[in-house]
């Protein structure tokens, strides 16, 4: 029999509802798993066991009354450490926020609190979400549960590794250029980046405000839909939050994909891509055709400019957003300075890691006088062209458009720890298939579609029209249920 920690949200909800188990038993099962495995993986930065047990007992009182309960009530979740939770450290895996304790909840956390979730702890990440490998954390390197010598992806590597290793039932991550989807692919789990504005960013520590989105990382597609049901919705505290009605995302699961048009962009199947990745994704496309979907080759002609565009815009926004960490109001402050200016400079030099410094300098340069028009303004124009490519591809089906687009998530399976740390450009290219989605603001879900000969997971993405998460969930669920990939688990014994 599968241990409680190995089950999904929907499986555990049935057991809790039928009083076969208690939430406390479930939480104790997951903490036992964390105790057994996290010394190998390093998924967590902070554990909140005392709080979790108190929350589970409160949930059990609801179950005992036989009330109609939410699918996430009493379910233990992990939260990426750039989401604010009242009274809990929020470090962003950075020395500069090492002892910062949040005084408020992010809106996504507030919404989870309403349905009485259980907080297991905060997960490791690349510092300030800047990275693709979770090697940029100031505190520890998270390892891939499928191969401890490999990276788990980034920046939400701690959340993805925790889900894959059954160290939580599901998790929240954030995605600025692929930071939910790429680690989900590396760890063989499901990750969804919602449409920009679908989920409130209030309480998410900002990296690049026009690109950041909070989303779920789960063991299967149904759990992803259940998480989206809770965290989505308009929030007056976030001026970029879309005033859109929240549908029940589980309603589309199980619907046939017969007749759906799937676009296959030629720009995403490129030279230099791992042949095992291409083979698995093309086999997945053939499976979708067997399920009745129609496929057609499409073009997204400005894709080749996406990496350059992203690393100008994201770094420019990071330069502005991270200016607040100056040693004055909160966070780390240097102990050695003779005046205010030196205090600012030393605090930031000592508090930020090398990748964060690199991006701040890139962004400051792109925004500086004389270069603003040449870099930042031009990148904004190219971003518009990238979005227009997707608009053209997704125009109504009756006028030749497609319903969804299917592409690889990453050009290779998970690479070795330390393999790309000396070559930032190679590291940046890990996001080549994910960043266009953030630039265009559209939704995308990553899910497993095979394994390499070395036994590492391979992922694909399903991309959709803005605010059409139910369509990508429908396609992902149909494929998932027709295959066995999502049932595989890493061997951590």
By annotation, the residues acting in catalysis are 80, 155, 179
CB atoms under 10 Å from CB of 476, counted, come to: 29
CB-based contacts of 199: which residues, under 8 Å, 6+ apart? 108, 213, 214, 215, 231, 232, 233
Burial of 307 (0-12, 13-18, 19+ CB in 10 A): middle
- CA 28 to centroid of chain Cα atoms: 26
Report how far residue 224's alpha carbon sits from residue 217's, in angstroms, rounded to the nearest whole number. Answer: 7
| Pairing, β 170-175 against β 213-218 | antiparallel
For residue 146, CA distances in Å to 49, 114, 153, 451 come to 26, 35, 12, 11
The sign of the dihedral angle between the CA atoms of 323, 325, 329, 335 is negative
For residue 465, CA distances in Å to 227, 330, 395, 443, 445 come to 20, 40, 9, 7, 12
Asked if 105 contacts 113 with a C-beta cutoff of 8 angstroms, the reply is yes
Strands (E), 201-265: 213-218, 261-265
Asked if 186 contacts 410 with a C-beta cutoff of 8 angstroms, the reply is yes
Asked if 441 contacts 387 with a C-beta cutoff of 8 angstroms, the reply is yes
Q: Indicate the helix (H) or strand (E) that contains 308.
A: helix 306-321
Report how far residue 130's alpha carbon sits from residue 211's, in angstroms, rounded to the nearest whole number. Answer: 13
Report how far residue 117's alpha carbon sits from residue 6's, in angstroms, rounded to the nearest whole number. Answer: 18
Report how far residue 486's alpha carbon sits from residue 410's, in angstroms, rounded to the nearest whole number. Answer: 18
């Amino acid at each position: 029999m599968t241990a409680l920690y190995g089950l999904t949200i929907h499986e555990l909800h049935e057991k809790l509802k039928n009083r076969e188990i208690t939430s406390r038993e479930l939480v104790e099962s997951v903490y036992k798993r964390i105790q057994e495995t996290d010394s190998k993986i390093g998924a967590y930065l902070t554990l909140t066991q005392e709080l979790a047990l108190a929350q589970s007992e409160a949930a059990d009182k609801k179950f005992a009354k036989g009330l109609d309960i939410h699918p996430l009530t009493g379910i233990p979740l992990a939260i990426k450490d750039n989401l604010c939770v009242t009274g809990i450290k929020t470090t962003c895996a950075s020395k500069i926020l090492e002892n910062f304790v949040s005084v408020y909840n992010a809106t996504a956390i507030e919404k989870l609190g309403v349905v009485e979730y259980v907080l297991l702890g905060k997960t490791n990440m690349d510092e300030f979400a800047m990275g693709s490998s979770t090697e940029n954390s100031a505190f520890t390197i998270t390892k891939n549960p499928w191969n401890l010598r490999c990276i788990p992806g980034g920046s939400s590597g701690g959340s993805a590794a925790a889900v894959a290793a059954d160290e939580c039932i599901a998790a929240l991550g954030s995605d600025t250029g692929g930071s939910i989807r790429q680690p989900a692919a590396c760890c063989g789990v499901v990750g969804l980046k919602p449409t920009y504005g679908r989920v409130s960013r209030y309480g998410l520590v900002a990296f690049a405000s026009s690109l950041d989105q909070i989303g779920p990382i789960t063991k299967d597609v149904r759990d992803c839909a259940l998480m989206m049901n809770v965290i989505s919705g308009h929030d007056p505290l976030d001026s970029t939050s879309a005033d859109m009605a929240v549908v029940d995302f589980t309603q589309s699961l199980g619907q046939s994909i017969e007749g759906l048009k799937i676009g296959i962009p030629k720009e995403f199947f490129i030279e230099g891509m791992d042949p095992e990745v291409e083979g698995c994704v093309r086999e997945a496309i053939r499976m979708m055709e067997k399920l009745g979907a129609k496929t057609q080759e499409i073009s997204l002609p400005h894709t080749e400019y996406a990496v350059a565009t992203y690393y100008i815009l994201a770094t420019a926004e990071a330069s502005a957003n991270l200016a607040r960490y100056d040693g004055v109001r909160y966070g780390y402050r240097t102990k050695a300075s003779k005046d205010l200016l030196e205090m600012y400079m030393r605090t930031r030099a000592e508090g930020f890691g090398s990748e964060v410094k690199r991006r701040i300098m890139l962004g400051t340069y792109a925004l500086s006088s004389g270069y603003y028009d040449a870099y930042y303004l031009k990148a904004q124009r190219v971003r518009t062209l990238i979005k227009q490519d997707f608009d053209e591809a997704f125009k109504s089906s009756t006028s030749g458009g497609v319903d969804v687009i299917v592409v690889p998530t990453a050009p290779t399976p998970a690479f070795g720890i330390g393999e790309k740390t000396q070559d930032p450009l190679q590291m940046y290219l890990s996001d080549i298939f994910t960043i266009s989605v953030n630039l265009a603001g559209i939704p995308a879900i990553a899910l497993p579609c095979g394994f390499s000969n070395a036994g590492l997971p391979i992922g694909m993405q399903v991309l959709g029209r803005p605010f059409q998460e139910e369509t990508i969930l429908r396609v992902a669920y149909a494929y998932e249920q027709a295959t066995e990939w999502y049932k595989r688990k890493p061997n951590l014994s």
